[in-house]
Structure 1
């Protein structure tokens, strides 16, 4: 038995309230369970109970055993002077107020249905499980599941908006600069994301704005700041960018990051950091009002059009500066753009709309429902549990469910866990 389960039972009154009695056999009625207190002090504040023929208003403290009152030294804490009811699972010792009168105590175990306790213990069992409800999740009512997935996704966006706020602070509330930072990080994917973010952070976005109208300068700026123009390579294109970057570096007082931060090992050539840098350069060369255009997009196809880019001719026959390859245009694939929509654009839209007081959660959810589902081990495992996964909205919500609820066994805060416990 855990105390948070007792909090759950008391908060939602999941016990027989029709015949409650205290440990000294006094009839008890709960008018209001009180406000759950997440800070220090009694567990529930401003509760209302009917006891000894009159109404009482005060606080409720909850423990596994009555003796925990003394174990936690509440008798010495004035914050507990207004406790009017002690709710425990097991009454093992009398607890007294400062006037030496016993605190009215409710021994909850006598009033809770055994099935609720067994359902909770089944979810919290110690046997190894991928998620606590892995044998039951496919039985959850579709209405409950769909509503819970929406809430999970909004929670995920709220959490991601914290990073957006941090970036806004660093950029003096420049939304275009924040887009550049977040896009750069996602262009680097998992392996090179931090290196790309370091590169983008090393360039004031005002510089990107100034140089974006010159294709070669922007390529030189990004490759130079990423450290790829520091070495001597006998390739005319590399030498041309190097010379251009030398001028830009002096003009804007720039300092490149080390090239060694970027990884090539065990990567597909299409994901090489050199190719992703070239694509990022081409994107900002093509569109100088990228943030405004992205915020205005309402259909997935509109995003695909915005990200339809053409690389400089050199990169059509190269994956690196030194090795020539077969000709390929190396355009951004729809699957890559989908990742940008999921991880950058919609979280940024959420934060931007919220800042304007024009948040449209339904629009963002509907947009994500038109994006193909992600492919990863967590999603595949949920599929094996007979869940339907048809779009990126569902995959994002399931990732939130697994990482922030199932992995932490937060069944009491989960709509799925709640239904299983109450059934």
Structure 2
């Protein structure tokens, strides 16, 4: 109900009587932590941005022991069907609550049960196999351009915030990409806490760069017994005072249901190594047109040997690879490098860079996800990342919205029948 705002949105008020406007309901979080991330609401005259938690009853907050979990401290709104108990934050302030009990139509739950059966399907699932591949590829070219134009808006917004600094903008998006969705937010906060120019001042001192990364990420606050992290902590204490760095809350990092090779500590070690290897990457990305050379920027990183036998500062491990795998590098090339080539080309009116972005996407393997799998099972051949990105846009903008009469594939099928 919350995800699709399928309730009476008129004259919303919290149970405390405060006027409430939903600006953005947030994005469903399928990992540990609050149910919806990056929500935004207007409470009376103040805009709040953060996470939103959903429960049948407000007392479920206590049953799930959220009051003892620091990752729930940045919840801005508690959405419940029945408000049966008052919930307070650790500082004693009352958590704003929206009760939906009297705002949901009686027949809506039954309707949703029927809709949910086909929620992940697309309308032409039985007919799309009869559409020529050439025609599908042509339409996916259009949806791919749509997708990258939409994604470019966020790039330009950050660029304007940073006064036209493409290098720093690229650095922020690259950092977020290193979080690979689950830890994208803390990586983004890390990039904001330590601008790229600070790393540049210490480019000849690997230990200090590693200390800046792990210290600003919040992992060097506790007592650390091993020699390497102890050295990092000592270095960071000096650098933190010198640059007035505010370390982010370590509780923001997510480890749950994750392979150790993908732990945020491993990603941070790789991120630090990338900074050591090639600071100010944006200019290098713009100069290199060969995909093998682009890929080489993110491979064979000088990760500290400590991470060959550790996944965490407090956990030993058998010898493992501390390098990002090929899928991770492909992900960065797709979601950061190709995006910035496209955004730069569009923003400056330089088609050369747009063409390079498209060529890069055509050379990358298709993404593996549930949406692409469903289209593949229906008979659609997805050859590369260019096509898989087009599929994602097709599903989001046309299939989910049932805009078959605005979709070239849908119109083609209707004309065939």
CA distance, structure 2, for counterparts of residue 421 and residue 370 of structure 1? 33
CA distance, structure 2, for counterparts of residue 304 and residue 190 of structure 1? 21
Choose the corresponding residue for 1:246, options 224, 237, 246.
237
Question: How far apart are 1:289 and its partner, in Å?
Answer: 3.6
- When the two structures are superposed, what TM-score results if normalisation uses the length of structure 2? 0.69
User: After the TM superposition, which residues 206-355 of structure 1 pair with which residues of structure 2 at under 5 Å, given as runs?
Assistant: 206-308=197-299, 309-355=301-347
The answer to whether structure 1 residue 393 and structure 2 residue 380 are counterparts is no
CA offsets, 1:127-154, max 9 Å, x none?
A: 9471111111122233321211111111
CA offsets, 1:29-55, max 9 Å, x none?
A: xxxxxxxxxxxxxxxxxxxxxxxxxxx
Equivalence for 1:156: 147
CA distance, structure 2, for counterparts of residue 376 and residue 295 of structure 1? 29
CA distance, structure 1, for counterparts of residue 253 and residue 274 of structure 2? 20
Unaligned runs of 5+ in 1: 1-124
Superposed CA RMSD in Å reads 1.8
CA distance, structure 2, for counterparts of residue 294 and residue 243 of structure 1? 34
Question: How far apart are 1:126 and its partner, in Å?
Answer: 12
CA distance, structure 1, for counterparts of residue 117 and residue 221 of structure 2? 55
Q: Is the 8 A contact 1:167 1:178 kept in 2?
A: yes
The answer to whether structure 1 residue 189 and structure 2 residue 188 are counterparts is no
CA distance, structure 1, for counterparts of residue 399 and residue 239 of structure 2? 50
Q: Is the 8 A contact 1:311 1:329 kept in 2?
A: no
Q: Higher mean Cα deviation, 245-254 or 365-374?
A: 365-374
CA distance, structure 1, for counterparts of residue 202 and residue 131 of structure 2? 55
CA offsets, 1:264-293, max 9 Å, x none?
A: 111111100000000000001011241111
CA distance, structure 1, for counterparts of residue 184 and residue 281 of structure 2? 20
- Poorly superposed stretches of 4+, deviation over 3 Å: 125-129, 360-363
CA offsets, 1:159-193, max 9 Å, x none?
A: 11011012112222211111111111111112111
Q: Is the 8 A contact 2:171 2:281 kept in 1?
A: no
CA distance, structure 2, for counterparts of residue 323 and residue 127 of structure 1? 43
Equivalence for 2:369: 376
Q: Higher mean Cα deviation, 320-329 or 347-356?
A: 320-329
Q: Is the 8 A contact 1:149 1:398 kept in 2?
A: yes
Unaligned runs of 5+ in 2: 1-114
For residue 319 of structure 1, give the secondary structure of its aligned residue in structure 2: strand
CA offsets, 1:77-127, max 9 Å, x none?
A: xxxxxxxxxxxxxxxxxxxxxxxxxxxxxxxxxxxxxxxxxxxxxxxx999
For residue 233 of structure 1, give the secondary structure of its aligned residue in structure 2: coil
Distance 1:325 1:128, change over 3 A: closer
Q: Is the 8 A contact 2:178 2:271 kept in 1?
A: yes
| Count of aligned positions | 299
User: After the TM superposition, which residues 95-244 of structure 1 pair with which residues of structure 2 at under 5 Å, given as runs?
Assistant: 128=118, 130-244=121-235
CA distance, structure 1, for counterparts of residue 297 and residue 172 of structure 2? 18
Question: How far apart are 1:413 and its partner, in Å?
Answer: 1.6
